Amino acid sequence: MNIKAALTRPLYRIYEERLAASLDRGRLPGHIGVIHDGHRRYARAERLPDYASSYRVGMDKFIEFLGWTEALEIEAVTCWLLSKENLSRPSEELEPYYEVLVELFERLPQALDGHDASVRFIGSLDLLPADLVAAAKRLEERCSAGSRRITIALAYGGRQEIVDAVRDLVADLAAGTDDVAEIAAGIDVEGIADNLYTSDLPDPDLVVRTSGEARLSGFLLWQSAYAEYLFVDVYWPAFRRVDFLRAMRDYTSRNRRFGL
């Protein structure tokens, strides 16, 4: 640790605690969606030897982040760790990330032990390597009973989710009739929502994206129609508790109108 960091860290801790104490707990989001962006740019900015080093810093931060949300009693968190579009990246970038994700999924049961949290995955997991899918399934099995909901989006695309939801809805409707007009009439907002990957979760109240990119890139497209958005300049591996608390302060100061 450099001298400047050593001097400023105690001050940040005091500031963090004051910031946490000042939050209106009754106005905090019940469900937060997070786009964990900026690993590769962080690696370049910090002159790390490889992307895997940045990925590991980011996954350590992910575990810290889950602790921060628990401390504020956030009931649900949906975390986008890999998009479907990311799968088109070169194998020399993807394979190290897959390895780091397997490591994360093996660590999480111990990190979440005693924290009343359950974990589930959404996305096109069939497109992922078998060892990564197996690690995800083991994590779901080992963390299946908690009341706090942690959802991890892997090989996830928002458009694909909506397509899958409509397909499932149409299949259900077609099981009861072969009348095309009747099937078409049965396709409605409630039916699609009931077939989304996250149909058992409330819609997100807040979506946070790190790294300074001001776009959703397809994350929870349907569910985030009336969410609040916050785009943070810092790369995910450098995201701090103070950044999280500032995001919560920003959210609690907003007047949500839900399109009214």
The residues annotated with a catalytic role in the active site are 37, 86
CA 243, distance to chain mean position in Å, is 16
Q: Which residues is 148 bridged to in the sheet?
A: 117
Tell me how crowded residue 181 is: count the other CB atoms within 10 A of its CB. Answer: 8
Q: Is residue 28 within 8 Å of 71, Cβ to Cβ?
A: no
Place of tokens 């963390």: 143
Query: Of 161, 172, 88, 71, nearest to 123 (Cα)?
Result: 161
- Cβ(82)–Cβ(97) under 8 Å? yes
Could you give the CA distance from residue 135 to residue 102 in angstroms, rounded to a whole number?
6
Cα Rg of the chain (Å, integer): 20
DSSP 99-143: HHHHHHHHHHHHHHTTS-EEEEEES-GGGS-HHHHHHHHHHHHHS
SS3 state at 198: coil
* Residue 206 host element (H or E): strand 206-209
